[in-house]
Amino acid sequence: MLKFLNKKRMFKLNLLNIRSDFAKRHYFFSPEEGENRTRDFHNDNEVGGNKKKGNVTNPILHLSNEAINKMKEINVKYQNSKALKVCVEAGGCSGFQYFFSLINKKDIKEKDIIVYDKECVVIIDKQASEILRNCKIHYTNNLISKKFTIENIQNLSSKCSCGNSFDIIF
């Protein structure tokens, strides 16, 4: 029985490595890790009269009213100093997983893409921009959890019950 479990574990590890290598070959990672074949989305724009770091773009992601309201709450709590960053990495139960983090606005990097800059600031890293193009960020607040989620992922082939892990058709 132990031998079977070890083989199963090794199979899962190999599968994750294959998925990671596949993603790198298809340029979902930053240009430093592979050749840059992602499309240059848009030029820098001036926002509010000041030149900002990063690229302000046409909507890559859409935000629900609930997500905007939650970010407004966060901005009130942190004196309008935070931005929501969306990232995707290889891993999770289904192949890819997304996660959110709050970062200081002054820590926005040149390679980050600003996808929303009205009531709040939402950024996405370049490696996730193609995978999450035209998705919707939603905030759920129910008895089970309070969290940001991503809906309407294009070319979705499977999604884990946790909601953070997904696989897409290439």
Cα 113 to Cα 7, 19, 59, 136, 151: the distances in Å are 41, 25, 10, 16, 19
Quick: pLDDT tens for 72-110: 999 999 999 999 999 988 887 778 888 999 999 999 998
What are the sequence ranges of the domains in the chain? 41-168
> In this predicted model, what pLDDT tens digit does every residue of 12-22 receive, in sequence order?
444 444 444 43
CA 165 to chain centre: 11
For residue 93, give both structure tokens. 């139960």
> Any idea which fold 41-168 has?
Hypothetical Protein Aq_1857; Chain: A; (2.60.300)
Task: Report the predicted TM-score, pTM, of the whole model to 2 decimal places.
Answer: 0.62
Q: How far apart (Å, rounded) are the C-alpha atoms in residues 12 and 109?
A: 34
The SS3 of residue 82 is strand
